[in-house]
Structure 1
């Protein structure tokens, strides 16, 4: 899943594709590089970000969604608003990626139930201005899993089909770096559930703190976190994730190709197809 941020205040790209023309070009480029899905968003969800109005969000994303869908590209809309999701689906989006898991807008889950689209529900504890104050857990893996399963129960009860549901543990959302690493180390707690799993670690601050022993030292800039992101993509694939959401497609695609090659080689060996001479 390639990220298309149509925002002036994204933490990762600083609004490089904030206008529709450049965002569409960027989405096409990500698809050519190998992205299977283009996730178009018009609201920055970084800590402390100001929420745009619904009208602002619609103005940002609809021309982009429409243009990419006309190019027969698979589009996801990254939004917490049912009205924005509905308009994006009408414009050709096929997936709703809701970082609030339906908690920010009570109309969201009924919408995705009625339309029958794929719905990504992320673990969420509040909007950007408050979420890091809520990064308190007894056991982050057990707590996030339990809170996600509570959302699953409500979402399924509203009529969303289980095969249309994707879960996201919400790395970076109401989580400290330690929480994020614990979740990465235990992704199987989510992939063992009977639902697809999306992992979104790309360029997040906990990756920028790798190798920084001084707490006051500035993290590595977002654009230099793609190698670390590719490593998390490989770990997600090994854990059985359905998809990874990334800014830089080529580096993650290379990591996933390594994973596929190793899995294929292992399967061939177990099947007895690798019976050449031994040294």
Structure 2
């Protein structure tokens, strides 16, 4: 009996300790949707307003949980950031997201998720004093589908693509973006006017979301779900062409399994990137990382 009481006590102690790490907050509600986020704050109170990271989990717009973003959010909070991992509508759940899918549904998934990221951002702007947030220092990040969400949220015309009446201020601009194995539907969305510092990481042999420029899942051109995507390598080169600040981490030979690599295993790389942005340090860097995996391509001969 004593052993059972001890185990029970330990269980509740661990649960309490975990519960103190973050607050679960509702950031958006309408007649059909309720969306929540988990907010991590530094343990030490700051007299200064906090920079904020909003993270979007992956899962092909049909799976994943906001808990998947706890690793980067929790680490960022230990480094003086407020950090939130958000839930969003998994629009592709029960729908096909590959070559035999419906193109309009795939693009709708991007639009819904990006709009909900805007709503999460608006929540923090509206409640900036309550959570001690510096609204000029809001970063976004995401893995896979979350990265695609963040990229489109950063660079889409918010008036054209809006789904909800509540909108971000016209002058609002994210401080920077970190994208894990993500892609954008149109490079022309990124201009000198809306450019922000960007960190990318991606496996060079990703067959799900292209590292360079290719169809999603490398679908044939006659596929119903054919969708051209511009991945991290193409994004990096485009931003270099605009003389922007960017850093690409290439996992040579790696596939889509690297989509969460820095967020989960090397989160300080993300924090260091944000710190450089906040200190106005411009970078144009390409870090090449060997994985020991056999996939090689002639196009990316720096992986040889």
Higher helix share: 1
TM-score of the two chains, using structure 2 as the length reference:
0.33
Higher strand share: 2
TM-score of the two chains, using structure 1 as the length reference:
0.35
